[in-house]
């Protein structure tokens, strides 16, 4: 079995997910109905999907100094909670609206908060004279857009641009 140790350092809240890139711009136009009779009131609109991140709750590694491959197994030993949020202070009404927009894009998998579990395992092989790193945490969907007030003529006033995130999944990232 490969040797390793737990990382005691402060863990990064927004660690990039390997291989993930920013999503496409969705456009700045207000995509209201073709008629001039839009529902009025508070309005949110996602204009861009940003690179998702991981809120790391536990980090470890396995180092192999041997001349042959060894098996490794990681088990999460720390837990933590990640909640939804924004780059600006938002009212609870607007947070709920943003969460609804993200849920629509993710087909319902975004959450208000998510607590990672203890004892979740993963494993594999570490090559000879190599080190495998593992991070366990909660994935966060991140988007950019605006909120404001939509008027009857479908225009939106009082726009405030914001980055918003919501937890949507947990698991191991092996690097």
- The domains of the chain are located at 3-7+38-174
Average pLDDT over residues 144-157: 95
pLDDT in tens, 63-113: 999 999 999 999 999 999 999 999 999 999 999 999 999 999 888 789 999
**Residue 18: what pLDDT?**
74
**Residue 32: what pLDDT?**
41
Q: Which residue has the tokens 């007030």?
A: 149
pTM of structure: 0.76
Mean pLDDT comparison of 21-25, 36-40, 162-166, highest-scoring range: 162-166
Q: Report which of 172, 77, 79, 80 is spatially closest to residue 132, judged by C-alpha positions.
A: 172
Query: How many C-beta atoms surround the C-beta of residue 49 within 10 A?
Result: 19
What CATH architecture is 3-7+38-174?
Answer: Beta Complex (2.170)
Give exposure, 7-45, as e/b (b: 16+ Cβ within 10 Å).
Answer: beeebeeebeeeeeeebeebeeeeebeeeeebeeeebbb
**Residue 15: what pLDDT?**
79
Tell me: pLDDT of 14 over 60.
yes
The answer for 27, left when phi > 0, alpha when psi is -120 to 50, beta otherwise, is left
């Amino acid at each position: 079995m490969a040797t390793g140790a737990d990382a005691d350092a402060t863990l990064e809240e927004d660690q990039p997910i390997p291989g993930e890139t920013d999503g496409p711009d969705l456009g700045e136009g207000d995509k209201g109905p073709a008629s001039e009779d839009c529902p009025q009131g508070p309005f949110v609109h996602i204009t861009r999907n940003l690179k998702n991140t991981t809120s790391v709750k536990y980090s470890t590694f396995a180092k192999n100094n041997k001349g042959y491959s060894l098996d490794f197994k990681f088990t999460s030993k720390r837990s933590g909670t990640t909640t939804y949020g924004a780059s600006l202070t938002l009212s609870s009404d607007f947070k709920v609206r943003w969460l609804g927009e993200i849920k629509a894009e993710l087909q319902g998998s975004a959450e208000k908060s998510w607590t990672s579990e203890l004892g979740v395992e993963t494993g594999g092989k570490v090559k000879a004279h190599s080190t495998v790193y593992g991070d366990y945490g909660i994935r966060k969907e991140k988007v950019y857009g605006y909120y404001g007030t939509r008027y009857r003529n479908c225009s939106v006033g009082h726009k405030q641009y914001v980055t918003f995130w919501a937890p949507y999944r947990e698991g191991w990232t092996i690097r």
